[in-house]
Amino acid sequence: MGYNSLAACVADLEQHGHLIRIREEVDPHLEMAAIHMRVFDVAGPALFFENIKGSTFPAVSNLFGTLERSKFMFRDTLDHVKKLVDVKMNPASVLKNPFDYVGSSVVALGALPWKKKSRAPILYGQTEISALPQIINWPMDGGAFVTMPQVYTEDISRPGIMQANLGMYRIQLSGNDYAANKEIGLHYQLHRGIGVHQTKANQLGMPLKVSIFVGGPPSHALSAVMPLPEGLSEMIFAGALGNRRFRYFYDDEGFCISADADFVITGTVYPNETKPEGPFGDHIGYYSLTHPFPLMKVHKVYHRRNPIWSFTVVGRPPQEDTSFGALIHEITGNAIPQQISGLHAVHAVDAAGVHPLLFAIGSERYTPYQEVDRPQEVLTIANQILGTNQLSLAKYLFIGAYEDNPGLDIHDIPGFFMHILERIDLTRDLHFLTNTTIDTLDYSGDGLNAGSKVTFAAVGNKKRELLRNIPAALNFPRPFNRAKMPLPGVVVVEGALFTTYADEGNVIDAWCKEVQSQDWAGIQLIVLADDAGFTADNMNNFIWVTFTRSNPAYDIYGIDSFTSFKHWGCKGPVIIDARRKPHHAPDLIKNEAVERSVDRLGSKGGSLYGII
């Protein structure tokens, strides 16, 4: 089956017990987000908000809140789409088993975008930006945002839908200096297709036409976030996954319109026109701060009859976008490893907000005639990873060799860390990239999009046994005098509040010299934290604090460290300073009054009784 609209999806989910309706009036200012997060936390159903304060339009969220529900929505097409992606990544697979791909080929051919000639449901009515649900997710957000948009642009030098880009880039509807109903903010990060389109338009001194689709069949939203192989259009993918061709047309002003969307906002972005956008509570668990981003001049806001607004909430993982990631992995399978020779597996660790931490397993095949005792091919693979699409945003890359442990599970976070720490030679196996680009949302660096990267590469036989308890003989002098062990071979120590890099560098260097003579055998990593108890309490906390609050080139130290011919290493444990720095973005903290107001929905007679 395939949904011809978001309403059809909502009805199907409701019929099968995957969706409930919130009947009570809810406030789009913080309350809707609080309800969503409360339900997501218990792996609850999708939510249909019937009565939104200040808007006549209903809204739906948490559609992709569990992998089970996502697979249910695409139950008839998922296997075919997996094969379609496999064909794009590995054409030779068709030659090996041609009959396995016959059905998928038919699906692909039947998924070509369909340009409509007749009047479409989306032209039923027009409205204004201020009439849309003004949903604000976090207390410090700069205004209302569209959080499930499908942003459509075309290549100005090669117009048409087959060269177009469909991406999910947040849209600020209100606040800051935006002229109400006339201007909105368009935020996008590094390595996004829309950036190429805007660059070309700017070079020609021409405005870029932008269409923002909200709602429509759920395959459209998923296609906007898929890391698709080169040459596979998001619109073809949407058609294949939804078992319904992507229907579109152009309005009288030349804007592309998704015929099946619930809402379409059209507008133009003029060369070099920006306005401050943000803050916005984002998926790493902090606010992305206010920066100049493209300004979009609004032309029209179309909607279908009885439209449904679609939204999500992002914050410290896991959130609904975590489930998006699980579904993407389900579809792409081994697609990324097939792009890089020798790569067996790669895992962007969700608990760190995806881009700050990447695990990889590669091959060591360069010298099969001798025992491999140092990273060789895995370093080549690491360099390719850091130069491939959005994988290039990785800040910390830990990579091991398949041959050392063919059963190594890249999704077993403690197990993978232990595998690396048991084998790594800290005098040799850390490789830095300084003054480079990192994720736009990562504020651990020294500027927007700016920071550093490091690769921890470890191959060969196991070199050591990792300690599982902190030896009583180890002395942790002040100010790093509280110690916890989150996993074998790793110690979290608590320090005083960070002041400046100049001062703290001297303090850490002095501390390293004081403890250099101690026996650190079996400990390979020390993490400095503001709160050792919180950081070491569970693996998610450890990952989040360590890799979102540190910039490798600035925050990595080592006991008995040295620099030799521009290579840095250490003879004792490596140290990551993951304390808060003055330039870091604030944490996302919920509003307690709003949290208490949500309790009413879980009381007897409330829409969420028995769920939250």
For residue range 517-529, what is the model confidence (pLDDT) as tens digits?
A: 999 999 999 999 9
Helix (H, G, I), strand (E, B) or coil at 52: strand
Q: 511: which residues sit within 8 A by CB, 6+ positions away? A: 477, 480
Lowest mean pLDDT, pick from 264-278, 327-341, 402-416: 327-341
For residue 227, pLDDT over 90 is answered with: no
pLDDT top residue among 317 and 329: 317
For residue range 538-567, what is the model confidence (pLDDT) as tens digits?
A: 999 999 999 999 999 999 999 999 999 999
**Which pLDDT score is estimated for 371?**
80
For residue range 228-258, what is the model confidence (pLDDT) as tens digits?
A: 766 678 999 999 999 999 999 999 999 999 9
For residue 136, pLDDT over 90 is answered with: yes
Distance CA 286, CA 292 (A): 18
Dihedral angle over CA of 349, 536, 512, 524, nearest 10: -60
Distance CA 115, CA 348 (A): 37
pLDDT top residue among 138 and 338: 138
For residue range 97-133, what is the model confidence (pLDDT) as tens digits?
A: 544 444 444 455 568 899 998 778 999 999 999 999 9
In terms of residues, how long is the chain? 612
Query: Is 343-458 in the same CATH topology as 6-73+110-316?
Result: no
Q: At CB < 8 A and 24+ separation, what contacts does 500-505 make?
A: 501/554, 504/577, 505/557
**Which pLDDT score is estimated for 101?**
41
* CATH topology classification for 343-458: UbiD C-terminal domain-like (3.40.1670)
Map out the domains of the chain as residue ranges. Answer: 6-73+110-316, 343-458, 482-577
For residue 217, pLDDT over 70 is answered with: yes
Cα–Cα separations (whole angstroms), residue 554 to 11, 285, 430, 551: 52, 21, 14, 5
Helices (H), ranges, 346-487: 377-385, 413-423
Distance CA 577, CA 556 (A): 6
Strands 396-401 and 357-362: parallel
Q: How far apart are the first and last CA of the chain?
A: 32
For residue range 489-507, what is the model confidence (pLDDT) as tens digits?
A: 999 999 999 999 999 999 9
CATH code of domain 6-73+110-316: 2.30.110.10
Q: Which tokens in the block code for residue 566?
A: 């521009």
**Which pLDDT score is estimated for 389?**
79
**Which pLDDT score is estimated for 382?**
96
Strands 280-281 and 287-288: antiparallel
For residue range 146-195, what is the model confidence (pLDDT) as tens digits?
A: 999 999 999 999 999 999 999 999 999 999 999 999 999 999 876 677 88
**Which pLDDT score is estimated for 84?**
72
Mean pLDDT, the chain, rounded, equals: 92
pTM, 2 dp:
0.92
Residue 95 burial (CB < 10 Å; 0-12/13-18/19+)? exposed
Judge contact between 18 and 45, C-beta under 8 A. Answer: yes
